[in-house]
Structure 1
Amino acid sequence: MRFVLFVIGLLPVCAFGQSNKSLKQELDSMYVLDQRNREWLAKLGNNQPLTDSLSALYKVDRTKLAGMLWTEQVKIDTSNLNRAEAILKEHGYPGKTLVGTPTNETVFYIIQHSNKIPAYLPLIRKTAEAKELPFSLYAMMLDRSLMHEMKPQQYGTQVTCRQQIKTKQSRCFVWPITDAKAVNERRKEAGFTLTVEENANRLNAAYEPELTMDVMKKTYAF
């Protein structure tokens, strides 16, 4: 792992100079594939016409639609990640200078949806510090990395849904935050426009500033 991180650390943050139109077009297509099924899945429960339309399109029963979409997405994510890693080796991170905005966010989302976050987090930070990528995206990846490591997050961007041990009911909530009293100040500095409370409401998740890792582990099943 140390060797992998070292090699990635040698990658250039981005390739400066003229924009790369062909790369931009490819990344835009990859972004559509990264997001399409995820957007559909987020809407299925509250959008009957969409559910019926997709069931007809894919010729699959409504009860099996979500599973089919996720299976397809796993294949897409694998293909996208393989191509993104090849692009990183050739160009470094394709940032704002090389492919413009919002195309510069594509590789971020592909990594964010993969198991390669620990390997690429330092590169995402360097890219954000170079202003080739919004710093808020680095903050999101940092939070996800901390959550995966079962540590409190910094910016309150990550939500999880867990079964409560006592009630056996599932509940979605904001993952515990380090120094929650100052989280909105940190969010503002990172470039977020919503407070942690507003973001939780957007995601239909509960926010409990006092929630600690210890309390969470005793309250929810993992």
Structure 2
Amino acid sequence: MIKILKLFILLWALAGCQNATENNAASAVKEEQPNYTLLQQELEAIYDLDQGVRDVDWDSINADPVGQRAYIYKMHQIDSTNQTKVLPILEEHGWLPKSKIGEKAADALFYVVQHSNSRTIEQYLPQMEELAKQGEASGTDAAKMKDRLLMFQGKKQVYGTQAVSYIRKDGKHAIWPIEDVENVNKRRKEAGFELTVEENAERLGVVFDPEEQLPDVHVSFNK
């Protein structure tokens, strides 16, 4: 009888230890959850900075070379500052789902990474693409980021979302060359774009030439 009692006490003690361990583990997991409310507020403020500096009269800026240089410097400074705030968030939490932080904050993540360099885009694009498959990130934004990375790498883009001014001798902005251009609008539709590449080029006021070739000189964006 005494042996049975001792065995019961031992089992009870072990069960108590296990429950304590499980409770501690659950508490640790709970403590590690991001504060989505604070992250959302911070990212929404960053969104306003990123988009605010770009909400300008481009015709006026482009007509003034001195003012243009000053504006570009200001924009790069804001982009750099935003990256110092957003990249640590991504390093700690990974790409945040939009259901947790809202559309505007999710857009901030996209814009800050999109306006960075090829190394940063290459690092975080897979995370964004995975969340896009789950409906937790924008599929069209993920497509834009993929195109931008390919352009930065000197390769043809997939969805025809990126345009530059240095691939044509006339200096006009033009859609960056597209891989398998015959099927680009099919890919765009699958990604969620409403406009064809031709319609989008017209909206942007840029040239779209299906025969556009990659430039002879590759411009590095890995800075």
- TM-score, normalised on structure 1? 0.74
Alignment of 1:146-165 (within 5 A): 146-162=150-166, 164-165=168-169
Q: Which has the higher contact order (CA 8 A, sep 6+)?
A: 1
Alignment of 1:1-222 (within 5 A): 20-40=36-56, 43-45=57-59, 64-115=66-117, 116-162=120-166, 164-165=168-169, 169-213=170-214, 216-217=215-216
**Counterpart amino acid of residue 93 in structure 2:** H
- The secondary structure found in structure 2 opposite 1:208 is coil
The equivalent of 2:9 in structure 1 is none
Give how far 1:127 is off. 2.1
Whole-Å separation in 2 of the counterparts to 1:105 and 1:123: 15
CA contact (8 A) 2:201 2:207 kept: yes
Partner amino acid for 1:190? A
- Higher-Rg structure is 2
Deviations 1:43-102 (CA, angstroms, capped at 9, x unpaired): 24259xxx9xxxxxxxxxx76333222222222111111111111133221221210113
Unpaired runs of 5+ in structure 2? 1-32
> Does the C-alpha gap of structure 1 residues 193 and 176 become closer, same or farther in structure 2, counting only changes over 3 Å?
same
Equivalent position of 2:4 in the other structure: none
1:164 and 1:92, CA in 2 relative to 1: closer, same or farther beyond 3 A? closer
Shift of 1:113: 0.3
Identity of aligned residues (%): 36
State the superposition RMSD in angstroms: 2.5
Between the aligned partners of 1:68 and 1:130, the Cα distance in structure 2 is 41
Give the partner amino acid of 1:206.
V
In structure 1, C-alpha distance between the alignment counterparts of 2:58 and 2:150, rounded to whole Å: 29
In the aligned structure 2, how far is the partner of 1:36 from the partner of 1:147? 25
Per-residue CA deviations over 1:129-164 (Å, capped at 9, x if unaligned) read 222111111110110111111111100001110264
d(CA) in 1 for partners of 2:154, 2:65: 33
Instruction: Determine if contact 1:19/1:97 at 8 Å carries over to the other structure.
Output: no
Structure 1 unaligned runs (5+)? 1-16, 52-61
Question: Is the Cα–Cα contact under 8 Å of residues 140 and 155 in structure 1 kept in the other structure?
Answer: yes
CA distance in structure 2 between the aligned counterparts of 1:97 and 1:192, rounded to whole angstroms = 21
Find the aligned partners of 1:191 and 1:136 in 2 and give their Cα distance: 6
Aligned residue pair count: 184
In structure 1, what residue type is equivalent to 2:49? L
In 2, Cα distance between equivalents of 1:136 and 1:66: 30
